[in-house]
Amino acid sequence: MTDIKSLKQVSDTIWEIPISYKEGMRVPARIYGTQKLIQEMDDAVYDQVTNVATLPGITQYALCMPDGHFGYGFPIGGVAAMDVENGGVISPGGIGFDINCGMRLVVTNLTYDEVKPYIKKVVDRLYERVPAGVGSTGFVKISRNEFRKVVEQGARWCVDNGYGWEEDLELMEENGCIAGADAAKISEKAIDRGFNQIGTLGSGNHYLEIQVAKKENIFEPELAAKLGITQPDQVVIMFHCGSRGFGHQVATDYLQVFLKVMESKYGIKILDRELACTPFDSPEGQAYFSAMKCGLNMSFANRQVILHRIREVFSEIFGRSAEDLGMHMVYDVAHNTAKLECHIVDGKERSLLVHRKGATRAFAPGMTGVPEKYQHIGQPVIIGGSMETGSYLLVGVPSGAQSFFSTAHGSGRTMSRTKARKTFRGEKLQKEMQTRGIYVRSTSMSGLAEEAGGAYKDVDEVIEAAELAGISKRVVRFTPIGNIKG
């Protein structure tokens, strides 16, 4: 346990570690959280976030969100903005292996009473249509060359090929396709691992969930209505997945490249080899940036095909078209990314490469990049909780400038997967959840045990900390009624 007395308390929910804490720190580290969250945070987070503070070009602070926990290189929940005009680096450890692991939220005009009699049928059918688990493959059969088009075009490729609606593209971060992706910068091994995985959930903490917006959990009714939540007990669908084996291979490939040239070619010394990096403007840095964008686009395409399958299932079971069921997207938001953004630092606008590792972009009203539909209310933020508790829809706020307009991405683990498997039994958990009105299907009972609610932080406290800190604003809390787990 970390000694909370060694931290400088900036506010009720912001805690600072000074540059004197560790040799080489260029900026202080800041961690968001209530006192309870800070006391319970694993010690590795403090070591990792202060390591991040030593990276060349880091600007203002190394940050960790309230759901922070141990990760590869960066803590999960880590945010770092690099000044690319003054030697700033790019680091795969600050993005993650599952590039653009992200969230998508879709509304319906159905109510809980209408869906409840069919929830088992809905979940079972979705379990059949959306492959989950390690090594799962999708129904979209394309060649390796066609896959290269997918990773350059993202969700646009899907819509052009009949897997979605034109309006979907307007409601995604980067409109579902980040510019500058170059398939020439990715390996054949990455292609091999990804070309047959479009439309699949994967494993780990990835899921597809049917949820309900109960009346008492609609905190901002006017905002909620503008985001598509227009009635109590409205049913929505939320899902969480990323770029699968493709993104993992892209990160693996470039980590090896960076380790070879980082010190010998660029003279960069780091405290942890998992923070391998190169200058952003170096040939290696630019090649990885282009390859990483392919990972972003693959993930947007992956979630787009999953949405297509969800619409098919609901249409079949309820005997109405997806349009008639009001199955419109609220938003699709990415987690594991690095993006060039303009931010005001010390009164001046600067071009920064913002790494968000297990953290969500949360742009404020009026900012470039927020869909026109949401310009006056701010970017939607989708926060997944554990499958036993609940999830949230938030919006970005102006005071989010303090964190480069970043917020939490989930509830955050408190228990390793190994410990969770020893602590919980998947079969028992599945039965207990069903008695509480949550029907769950999983490809693995041990995998289900890993995702038990007791292995995660209190999502309500994480969201409260983010709101009190002024980095996002809660709008609706959703309660799960059906879940598919990878």
- Which residues are the active-site residues? 409
Reduced to 3 states (helix: H, G, I; strand: E, B; else coil), residue 24 is coil
> Binding site annotation covers 485?
yes
> Binding site annotation covers 196?
no
Place of tokens 């009635």: 231
Which of 154, 339, 164 shows the shortest CA–CA distance to 246?
A: 154
Which of 126, 480, 478 shows the shortest CA–CA distance to 317?
A: 126
Distance, CA of 230 to CA of 297 (rounded, Å) = 31
Q: Helices 283-318 and 144-153: crossing angle, nearest 10°?
A: 90
> Binding site annotation covers 468?
no
- What is the strand order of the sheet 8-11 is part of? 8-11, 14-17, 29-32, 58-69, 76-83, 348-357, 337-345
> Binding site annotation covers 6?
no
The answer to whether the CB of 323 falls within 8 A of the CB of 106 is: no
Which of 75, 71, 73, 72 shows the shortest CA–CA distance to 31?
A: 75
- For residue 38, which amino acid is it? I
Tokens of 172: 């995604």
Reduced to 3 states (helix: H, G, I; strand: E, B; else coil), residue 185 is helix
Distance, CA of 320 to CA of 431 (rounded, Å) = 32
The 3-state DSSP composition of the chain as helix, strand, coil percent (nearest 5) reads 40, 25, 35
> Binding site annotation covers 422?
no
The answer to whether the CB of 116 falls within 8 A of the CB of 101 is: no
> Binding site annotation covers 199?
no
Residues 6+ apart with CB under 8 A from 302: 138, 197, 198, 199, 200, 241, 242, 243, 244
> Binding site annotation covers 376?
no
> Binding site annotation covers 209?
yes
> Binding site annotation covers 290?
no
> Binding site annotation covers 98?
yes
> Binding site annotation covers 416?
no
> Binding site annotation covers 271?
no
Distance, CA of 235 to CA of 214 (rounded, Å) = 9
> Binding site annotation covers 411?
yes
> Binding site annotation covers 355?
no
> Binding site annotation covers 387?
yes
The CA-CA-CA angle for residues 226, 230, 231, to 5°, reads 160
Strands (E), 258-319: 278-279
Tokens of 361: 């972009």
Reduced to 3 states (helix: H, G, I; strand: E, B; else coil), residue 360 is strand
CB burial of residue 118 (10 Å; 0-12, 13-18, 19+): middle
The answer to whether the CB of 112 falls within 8 A of the CB of 122 is: no
Name the pairing type of β-strands 473-485 and 439-442: parallel
Residues 6+ apart with CB under 8 A from 320: none
Name the binding residues for Mn(2+).
98, 206, 240, 335
Name the binding residues for GMP.
205-209, 335-336, 384-387, 391, 409-412, 485
Name the binding residues.
98, 205-209, 240, 335-336, 384-387, 391, 409-412, 485
